[in-house]
Amino acid sequence: MKPDSVNEESIQVPETLLIVDDEAGIRRLLDRRLSREGYQCWEANTAEQALEILSATAIDLVILDVKLPGKSGIEVLPEIKTGYPDTAVIMGTVLSEMSVAVQCLKQGADDYICKPFDLDEVSLGVRRALERRSLQLQLKEYQHHLEKKVEEQTCDIRRLFLGAIESLVFALEAKDKYTGGHSRRVADMALALGSELGLSGDEMEDLRCGSLLHDIGKIAVDQRIHSKIGRLTHDEYEHIMIHAHVGARIVEPVVNDRVVEMIEHHHDHYDGSGISQVVRGGDIPLAARILAVADAFDAMTSDRPYRSAMSVKEAANEIKRCAGTHFDPVVVSAFLKTITAGVRPTRNRSVLGGVDDSHACEYGDLNGGARND
């Protein structure tokens, strides 16, 4: 259709009318009068012909006779209103059939004019219907513009908020010389694994976002426990693990559910043996299973206050050993391929001047005296 009839550029374009009536005399009469008033007119003598013209031409308004041979005006009206919602329709009906006119209005007709036609009345009816149509189009366009604007601003606010959270993560990491650059390296590795596993563009974006924000919940962790040298007690380990849940709650208002779940479950063990774990195996979101491997790899290959970093080979062997228990075997297999291909997260991209070669967490389990927080 021709929704642009409301903007300035199209003001010069004549409005288009389709006169549908089986009586040639009436069509000609209306055509002559309305053409003189500057409208561009088409004529059809059946409903079928009217539909043909509508499918090929942008029509602003249809004058539709109720009684037509074959398909009647009442029958074709819903088809026109559904197929061409921006086209106004005025029904032509005889005065004695007011109930028909009312029925047409209920079915979406914009107005009706009575036969025999009074040309001034027709002219006025057409003008009124076109003006109403023009206002409706303007309103529609305004609403569309408004929705787009709101959507853009929501995106901007979300981006700003996410940026602030991300900065907070980096600041927290930079404050501790053992955690600088951790989230970025984890994101790099997680994306390499996601790519190896054939994740879609949207899934990769979620993975990137969740990886960068996964440790934001550490803001709620007692710093003395977080930096403790040596084995953690069960209670201390449990306390540190609240960061997954807290982190999920922090980012919940600004990220989608997939990212929230990824953060919530990033310390789940594949075999279900993790702290307060409620799902296991394939029920753990894939992104969380990927993040778990990437996170552990960075933890193991980073220095600790109480131990030196493992080599890549040692870390890879440890992750391989834990396939099926701590980690998803499919993700581990992708990880081993990635490592074999020589992919390594860059370790010299620390932000805010933080030291970029360490991590405050240690991978392992309580029995082994180690931890993965």
Closest distance of CB 215 from Fe ion, Å: 5
From the list 9-17, 215-223, 278-286, 363-371, the region that binds Fe ion by CB under 5 A is 215-223
Q: In this complex, which beta carbon is closest to Fe ion, that of residue 197 or of residue 216?
A: 216
Closest distance of CB 214 from Fe ion, Å: 6
Residue 45 · residue 79 · CB < 8 Å: no
Q: Residue 44 pairs with which residues in a beta bridge?
A: 20
Indicate if the alpha-carbon torsion angle 162, 167, 172, 178 is positive or negative.
Answer: positive
Q: In this complex, which beta carbon is closest to Fe ion, that of residue 123 or of residue 179?
A: 179
Closest distance of CB 240 from Fe ion, Å: 8
Distance in angstroms (rounded) separating the CA atoms of residues 358 and 177: 7
Q: Where are the alpha helices (DSSP H) in 176-200?
A: 182-196
Closest CA to 276 of 246, 238, 332: 238
CA–CA distance from 353 to each of 175, 261, 301 (Å)?
Answer: 9, 31, 20
Applying the rule CB under 5 A, the residues between 18 and 37 that interact with Fe ion are none
Q: In this complex, which beta carbon is closest to Fe ion, that of residue 111 or of residue 261?
A: 261
Distance in angstroms (rounded) separating the CA atoms of residues 173 and 216: 10
**Could you tell me the strand order of the sheet in which 61-65 lies?**
40-44, 16-20, 61-65, 88-94, 111-115
Closest distance of CB 265 from Fe ion, Å: 11
Beta strands (DSSP E) in the chain are 16-20, 40-44, 61-65, 88-94, 111-115
From the list 73-81, 101-109, 211-219, 299-307, the region that binds Fe ion by CB under 5 A is 211-219
Applying the rule CB under 5 A, the residues between 313 and 352 that interact with Fe ion are none
Closest distance of CB 241 from Fe ion, Å: 8
From the list 129-137, 214-222, 286-294, 306-314, the region that binds Fe ion by CB under 5 A is 214-222
H or E stretch including 172?
Answer: helix 119-175
**Total number of residues that touch Fe ion (CB under 5 A):** 1
Closest-by-Cβ residue to Fe ion is 215
From the list 93-101, 187-195, 209-217, 324-332, the region that binds Fe ion by CB under 5 A is 209-217
Closest distance of CB 259 from Fe ion, Å: 14
Closest distance of CB 298 from Fe ion, Å: 10
Interacting residue ranges for Fe ion, rule: CB under 5 A:
215
